[in-house]
A and B are shown apart, each in its own frame.
Chain A
């Protein structure tokens, strides 16, 4: 036991996986947020959770964590019931918005240290190893300089990074990140993605909800498309298709199609299609021309 713990951190012999089977969630006000949602994810995976606002992404995260009770279906994390997985420190969860008291007398480093509590003894005394992991986590999200700040004295993006650092310090084999990129600048987003790639090679499983459709193929191995249920789930190449996206976003998605004279000088019939949810991408075409403006929207479908 001792050697295995040292060899593979806290989770010796456990392999990351997430099984959601037939999960249905109805809120007390009668909203049916999820119906019969199912998918499976394995170790060493970054999975994008994609869907419109109100599709049920946050609800799905909460159902996985057991914060809302599904009226049907089952969730297994690393083959264990959610509560058991939490007790063993297997899951880390970063909610979409933190509902904490920002005037609470804790410093940034204190918050990140709380991520290590599950690894400490019952008196929660940090070992040298715990402190090192807190340092590393702060370093990785670029918040080391702010470690002595009271938690409320930070900007929105900085707060977000602190809670991400807490999840990192926790070293959950399964990480659930609900819109970690919203309100975060591009540099931070890239840093977070780089971090997730590192964790992937260490065998972690990450489920990340995002509105940034454009970057999904860049870093997601798998995609889970939701719209009140799981419409499709699987490898990005075969699942993140225009047809599936239109099913998931039908109507709400901004849809640009650039073709003909706007794109080519000859009679090439290929076109560029741009799909986007919240963020509006700027599309430039033609590297040499200095006066290039962002391409105008050729059409904006909102049927």
Chain B
């Protein structure tokens, strides 16, 4: 039997657990909005789109987060622009813009093979993260979370009914750009934790899970953030025992939580729906 407290004895493990939890909370907050807008794939797309920024940042010796952030922001702006100028659907625009960015990233990386450790971007590397990178992740996540706590109601109003949001004096375009900027920031943080391939789980699964459990937005946010933070913390902890693969453990945990809600949720769960339907039939038969 392994020593269950062992991970807490290592500075790098404790760091990994707390940083992961913070990132998980931030991504989960955003996941509520993404999922409701049907933009879930955006997390995936952004995760890939920031690669050229990271590559370029390493190339010219800037902090990777700055590069990723600029690339993510540019990609989000480009998407808004294409969206407003054509009648293409959102998903097509997302596909177009972000693959273009990813392609540019791949090109940069292949021309400059030594400039970037692709492995750590694609798979994440939270257990071996340097203090400097960890600091970047913490600052980025904390700022994102802080801004979200201030503007979430405005974002909710815009995401629910853009025309009405405008009519009460909000600026939907500005708020959406802010949202994409925050999303890029969170994506950058998540890259370090679970890697580009699994970013999407971080910005989808917690919101999707919470959505099965409530009809109220504030409750949705609370549940999602709790799920995101807990699974990330526990995932990082467990990855000590399975040796590496933090991203895999975290996302597996999130999926398990989702499946539990999927079956057992009191109102929107599979079992509850079946039970109610049967009750209605029994009632009708009387």
| Residues in A lying within 8 Å of B, measured CB to CB | 65-67, 86-89, 91-93, 95, 98-101, 104-107, 110-111, 114-115, 117-118, 122-124, 150, 166, 170
Please state if B169 and A67 are interface contacts (CB–CB under 8 Å). no
A140 to chain B, nearest CB (A): 19
Interface centre among B211, B216, B220, by most chain A C-beta atoms within 10 angstroms, is B216
Q: How far is A89 from B36 in the complex, measured between Cα atoms in Å?
A: 27
B277 at interface, CB cutoff 8 A: no
Please state if B161 and A98 are interface contacts (CB–CB under 8 Å). yes
Please state if A110 and B217 are interface contacts (CB–CB under 8 Å). yes
Q: Which residues of B contact A101 (CB under 8 A)?
A: 36, 160
Given A89-B169, A91-B167, A105 contacting B153 (CB threshold 8 A) = no
Q: How far is A298 from B252 in the complex, measured between Cα atoms in Å?
A: 74
Please state if A105 and B36 are interface contacts (CB–CB under 8 Å). yes
In addition to A91-B167, A106-B216, A115-B164, 15 A-B residue pairs with Cβ atoms within 8 Å of each other are: A86-B168, A86-B169, A88-B169, A93-B167, A99-B163, A104-B159, A104-B160, A105-B215, A105-B220, A106-B156, A106-B160, A110-B216, A114-B160, A123-B153, A170-B168
Q: Which residues of A contact B170 (CB under 8 A)?
A: 117
| 10 closest cross-chain pairs (CB), A and B | A87-B169, A124-B153, A118-B168, A150-B215, A86-B169, A100-B161, A93-B167, A105-B215, A105-B220, A104-B160
Residue from A65, A89, A107, A111 in contact with B215 in the complex, judged by beta carbons closer than 8 Å = A107
Given A89-B168, A92-B167, A105-B216, A124 contacting B160 (CB threshold 8 A) = no
Residue from B150, B160, B161 in contact with A122 in the complex, judged by beta carbons closer than 8 Å = B150
Size band of the B side of the interface?
A: 20 to 34
B208-260 at interface with A (beta carbon < 8 Å): 211, 214-217, 220
Please state if A117 and B216 are interface contacts (CB–CB under 8 Å). no
Q: How far is A99 from B166 in the complex, measured between Cα atoms in Å?
A: 14
Q: Which residues of A contact B161 (CB under 8 A)?
A: 98-100, 114
Residue from A93, A104, A124, A170 in contact with B163 in the complex, judged by beta carbons closer than 8 Å = A93
Instruction: Closest A residue to B215 by CB, please name it.
Output: A150
B154 at interface, CB cutoff 8 A: yes
For this complex, 18 residue pairs linking A to B, each with C-beta atoms less than 8 Å apart, are A65-B167, A66-B166, A67-B166, A91-B167, A99-B161, A101-B160, A104-B160, A105-B214, A105-B220, A107-B216, A114-B161, A117-B153, A118-B168, A123-B150, A123-B153, A124-B154, A150-B215, A170-B168
Q: How far is A98 from B170 in the complex, measured between Cα atoms in Å?
A: 18
B157 at interface, CB cutoff 8 A: yes
Q: Which residues of A contact B36 (CB under 8 A)?
A: 101, 104-105
Instruction: Closest A residue to B211 by CB, please name it.
Output: A105
Interface centre among B163, B164, B169, by most chain A C-beta atoms within 10 angstroms, is B164
Q: Which residues of A contact B167 (CB under 8 A)?
A: 65, 86, 91-93
Please state if A95 and B163 are interface contacts (CB–CB under 8 Å). yes
Q: Which residues of A contact B166 (CB under 8 A)?
A: 65-67, 86
B171-224 at interface with A (beta carbon < 8 Å): 211, 214-217, 220
Q: How far is A100 from B165 in the complex, measured between Cα atoms in Å?
A: 12
Residue from A88, A89, A117 in contact with B157 in the complex, judged by beta carbons closer than 8 Å = A117
Instruction: Closest B residue to A84 by CB, please name it.
Output: B169
Please state if A114 and B164 are interface contacts (CB–CB under 8 Å). yes
Q: Which residues of A contact B220 (CB under 8 A)?
A: 105
Instruction: Closest A residue to B221 by CB, please name it.
Output: A105
Q: How far is A110 from B214 in the complex, measured between Cα atoms in Å?
A: 14
Q: How far is A87 from B220 in the complex, measured between Cα atoms in Å?
A: 29
Residue from B150, B159, B168, B211 in contact with A117 in the complex, judged by beta carbons closer than 8 Å = B168
Q: Which residues of B contact A87 (CB under 8 A)?
A: 169
Q: How far is A118 from B169 in the complex, measured between Cα atoms in Å?
A: 7
Q: How far is A88 from B168 in the complex, measured between Cα atoms in Å?
A: 8
Given A100-B161, A124-B154, A105 contacting B217 (CB threshold 8 A) = yes
Q: Which residues of A contact B164 (CB under 8 A)?
A: 93, 114-115, 166
Q: Which residues of B contact A92 (CB under 8 A)?
A: 167
